[in-house]
Amino acid sequence: MYRQKQLPESIKQPRVVIIGAGFGGLQAARALHKAPVRVTVIDRTNHHLFQPLLYQVATAALSPADISAPIRHILRKQRNAEVVLAEVTGVDLQRRRVVMGHRSLPYDYLVIATGASVHYFGHSEWQAYAPGLKSLEQARAIRQKILSAFELAEMERDPQRIEALLTFVVIGAGPTGVEMAGAIAEVAHKTLATEFRHIDPRQAHILLVEAAPRVLSTYSERLSRKAEQSLTRLGVEVLTGQPVTNIDDEGIYTGEKRIAASTVLWTTGVQASPAGKWLEAPMDRAGRVKVMPDLTVPEQPAVFVIGDTALCEQDGKPLPGIAPVAMQQGLYVAATIMRKVRGEQEIPPFHYRDKGSMATIGRSHAVVQLGPLSLTGFVAWLAWLMIHLLYLIGFRNRLLVMLQWVWCYLTFQRGARLLTLTELETRKPELEKIA
Amino acid sequence: MYRQKQLPESIKQPRVVIIGAGFGGLQAARALHKAPVRVTVIDRTNHHLFQPLLYQVATAALSPADISAPIRHILRKQRNAEVVLAEVTGVDLQRRRVVMGHRSLPYDYLVIATGASVHYFGHSEWQAYAPGLKSLEQARAIRQKILSAFELAEMERDPQRIEALLTFVVIGAGPTGVEMAGAIAEVAHKTLATEFRHIDPRQAHILLVEAAPRVLSTYSERLSRKAEQSLTRLGVEVLTGQPVTNIDDEGIYTGEKRIAASTVLWTTGVQASPAGKWLEAPMDRAGRVKVMPDLTVPEQPAVFVIGDTALCEQDGKPLPGIAPVAMQQGLYVAATIMRKVRGEQEIPPFHYRDKGSMATIGRSHAVVQLGPLSLTGFVAWLAWLMIHLLYLIGFRNRLLVMLQWVWCYLTFQRGARLLTLTELETRKPELEKIA
C-alpha cells in the first residue's frame, strides 16, 4: 500500500497563491524563496514557456521542449513552494479562495499572472483561418500550416492554387509579426529552396500586413524604417496602412483588395486572460485589469495583477505587454508581500525601469530600442541573441538553443521540420481537391 | 502568376516507386542514386523516424524532432529522386500503379517498405488502455500518460488511487519493453524524485510483464539473466511467464491476478502494414508477406517487400523485425533492381548477415548479442550508444542527441517533460474524480 508522505507540520505562515508561471508569476515565486510564506504556483500546463522564442518553434527552428522548462523542476529546491497543475476557473474574493473547477485553494495573498490570449477584434470566426501564436499548441499548428502548404503546392497542378499555397500572409507588424515574416522568408528562400521537384519555394510570397502606417510602430521611426528595409531585403512584401477587413479560408481582404493565401497568421490583437471577470474589477477594452500604483486590484489590497493581465499606466501611457515588465512586476509584488507580512504600512508604488525592447528580423538583423537610444544591424542582432539566451531557463535549453542557432546560421537548415500523421489529417479537405 | 518549374525532359528511365521511408525504404532509395532509374519515395509523414530511440521520446529524454529527419532534405541532392507525401491506399498490380486515394502513380519496380503497427492479438479494445509505441504521436501520448500520472497522484488524496496512479505496467519484455521499463524507473526514482510535495515518486511501481519464461527471449539465456538482474537493480519488478488476460481502464489481469495501474503500455505484438492485402499475397498470421528468396512477391517479379512488412525466412527461421534486416534488404533490392535494369538474368538470393542485436537497460547497462558472442554491462552500453548515434541521420540530430544523453547522464534530468493543455484535456475525467 502506498505510504502517504509525511508533510512538515503545518505552520501558520501566510499563503501566497500565484496563478500562472509565466515571466511574472515565476519571478514572484522565486523572489519569495526566503520569505516566511507558503507559496503555491498554479498553472494549467506543467512548464514555463519562453514565449519570445515561440515563433522559432512555429517556423521549425526549435523544438517545443527547447523553450520550455518544467515548473516543478525550476522550484524543486524552493522548500516553501508547491506547484499545482490545474486550470483556474474563478476567484472567490469573499472566502479568499482560488477556484479550480470543483476544487479550491485558500490564499492570504493572491498574484494573478495569467497572461493574455489572441484577440480577433470581434471577429472570432477569423480564428479558424488565421491562428495566433500564444501557446506551444498554436506554434505546432502554425508549423504544420507552413510546412504542409509547400507539400500541397508540390502536388498541385493548378498554377492559381499553387500561387495561393505559396502565399503567406502575416497580419500585424509588431515584433512577433516581423520575426515570423522574416523566418518564413528564410524557410522558403533558403531552407526549402532545393528540396522540391515541381515547385520552386523561392517563388513564395511572404506578405506582412499592418493597419498602422509603419512596422514596429512602438519603436522610433528610424528603427521602423530600418526594419522595413531589412524585411524587404529578405523578400518580405510589407503592406502598411492596410487594415484587414475580412479573412476566409481562401485568403484575406484589405479594403477591396483580395489576397489569395492558404496560410494566414495572426500576430496582432491581444486579449487579457479572464482574470478581470473573476475579480469583477474595472478593465480596459483588451480585458486588462486596471491596477493601483502598488499593482493591487482596487479595494482588494491582497490581490495583485501583473504582466499582460494588468493595465498599468506610467507617465500617462500603459506599460507594454513584454517580459521585462512582467518580471519587474513579479519582483515588486514579492517585495511588497514581504513588506506587508512584516507589517509595514508604507508601500512604495511600482515603477518600471525601461531596459529597452528588441525585435529580430531574419538572420544577422535586429532592432533594439533603449529609451532614446537605438541600435540596428548585426550588433543589435548579437545583443538580441545574448539577451534571449540569458533569460532562457536552464542550462540544457540554453545549450541546445545556442547550438541549433549556430547550426541554423551556418546551414540555413531548420531542425524541427515535422509533419505528423494527425497534423496532415487537418489538410485532408485540400488534399482531396488535388487532381 | 506562379511560374511552373521547368521539368527536365522526361526521359524514358524505369520508374522505381518506394513506399515508406523507414530504414529499408530510405536505404533502397539512396542506393539507387547513380542508377539509371527515376525514384519516387512515398511516405505518409514528411520525415524518416529513427524508431530505436522512440522510447526516449516517450520517456521525455528527447524531442520528436531529434530522432526525425525530413525525407526531402535527406534526398535533396539525389537528382533522380522525388518525394511524395501521401498515404498509399492500395496497389493496382494489373495497371502497375500505386493508389493514393483518388490519385495514383505508375511504377516499373515497386518496393514496399511500409513497416508494421501495433497488434493486440484480437483484443483491439485494449488499444484504448495500453498504447503501443510505433509513431511519434504514440510516443507523445505515452509521455503524456507517464507525466500526468505523477501529476494526478500529487493531487489525489485516496491512497489506493495514488497507488494505482504510481503503478506503471509495461507489457512485453522484448528490447522496447525492457528499455521502456528501465527508462520509466529512472524517471520515477531519479528525475522526479524531489519535485513533488505530497507524493514520493520513488515509491512508484514499475512492472514488466512477459508471457514468455524470460525477458529478451530472442537473446541467449545468459543475456536474459543479466538483463533481468539489471532491471531488478533499477527497481523494475519483472513478471515472466505471465500472459496478460485482460486490460481495462483500471489496470490489467494476468490470469486471476489483478494489477491496478493507471499507466499500461503495450510493447508486444506487431502487425505488418496492410501491404499483403493490397497485393493479395500469401501472408503469415502477423500479416507479413511471404517473399521469395529475392524478396519479390510470388508471381510479381517487379514487386519487392522488405523490412517489417516481409516474412523472410533464413535457415528455417524468420528474420527479426529490426533495422539492420530492413537496411540490408533495402540495399539488396536496390542492387537487384539495377541488375534487372541492366538485363541480367541471374539474381542471387538475399542473405542477411547478422551484425548482432542490442538492447539498453537504463543508464550504463546494455546487452549485445552477436551470434554466439555476447556482451553486457558498461562496454555493451557504450557500444549501444555509439551504434545508435552512428545510424541516426544528420549531424544536427547526432549532436543534439549526444549532448542530451551526456546531460541526462550527468544530471538525471530529462529535457522534454512537456504537458500541454490539449494533452491534459485527455485526463479530464480522472481530474474530475479527484476530491
Express each pLDDT in B80-90 by its tens digit.
Answer: 999 999 999 99
Write down the ipTM of this complex.
Answer: 0.91
Q: Do B417 and A46 touch (CB under 8 A)?
A: yes
Which of A72, A159, A413 lies at the smallest CB-CB distance from B195? A72
The whole-angstrom distance between A370's CA and the closest CA on chain B is 34
Contacting residues for A280 by C-beta, under 8 A, at least 6 apart: none
Is the pLDDT assigned to residue B7 strictly greater than 80?
Answer: no
- Residues of chain A with confidence (pLDDT) below 70: 1-11, 435
What pLDDT, on a 0 to 100 scale, did the predictor assign at position A373? 86
- In contact, B329 and B312? CB cutoff 8 Å: yes
Task: State which amino acid sits at residue B411.
Answer: T
Clarify whether A179 is annotated catalytic: yes
Q: Do A407 and B397 touch (CB under 8 A)?
A: no
Q: Do A420 and B63 touch (CB under 8 A)?
A: no
Contacting residues for B79 by C-beta, under 8 A, at least 6 apart: none
Express as a percent the part of chain B with pLDDT over 70.
97
What pLDDT, on a 0 to 100 scale, did the predictor assign at position B10? 47
At residue B8 the predicted structure's pLDDT band, cuts being 50, 70 and 90, is low
The whole-angstrom distance between B399's CA and the closest CA on chain A is 9
Express each pLDDT in B107-119 by its tens digit.
Answer: 999 999 999 988 8
What pLDDT, on a 0 to 100 scale, did the predictor assign at position A66? 94
What pLDDT, on a 0 to 100 scale, did the predictor assign at position A236? 97
What pLDDT, on a 0 to 100 scale, did the predictor assign at position B300? 95
Task: State which amino acid sits at residue A10.
Answer: S
At residue B423 the predicted structure's pLDDT band, cuts being 50, 70 and 90, is confident
What pLDDT, on a 0 to 100 scale, did the predictor assign at position A422? 82
Is A1 an interface residue toward B (CB < 8 Å)? yes
Express each pLDDT in B412-421 by its tens digit.
Answer: 888 889 888 8
Output the average pLDDT for chain B.
92
Is A399 an interface residue toward B (CB < 8 Å)? yes
Express each pLDDT in B261-319 by its tens digit.
Answer: 999 999 998 888 899 999 999 999 899 999 999 999 999 999 999 999 999 999 999 99
Q: Do B137 and A420 touch (CB under 8 A)?
A: yes
Distance, CA of A199 to CA of A188 (rounded, Å): 11
> Contacts of residue A76 in chain B, CB cutoff 8 Å?
194-195
Q: Do B64 and A66 touch (CB under 8 A)?
A: no
What pLDDT, on a 0 to 100 scale, did the predictor assign at position A10? 47
Q: What's chain A look like in SS3?
A: CCCCCCCCCCCCCCEEEEECCCHHHHHHHHHCCCCCCEEEEEECCCEEECHHHHHHHHCCCCCHHHHEEEHHHHCCCCCCEEEEECCCCEEECCCCEEEECCEEEECCEEEECCCEEECCCCCHHHHHCCCCCCCHHHHHHHHHHHHHHHHHHHHCCCHHHHHHHCEEEEECCCHHHHHHHHHHHHHHHHHCCCCCCCCCHHHCEEEEECCCCCCCCCCCHHHHHHHHHHHHHCCEEEECCCCEEEEECCEEEECCEEEECCEEEECCCEEECCHHHHHCCCECCCCCEECCCCCEECCEEEEEECHHHEECEECCEECCCCHHHHHHHHHHHHHHHHHHHHCCCCCCCCCCCCCCEEEECCCCCEEEEECCEEEEHHHHHHHHHHHHHHHCCCHHHHHHHHHHHHHHHHHCCCCCCCCCHHHHHCCHHHHHHCC
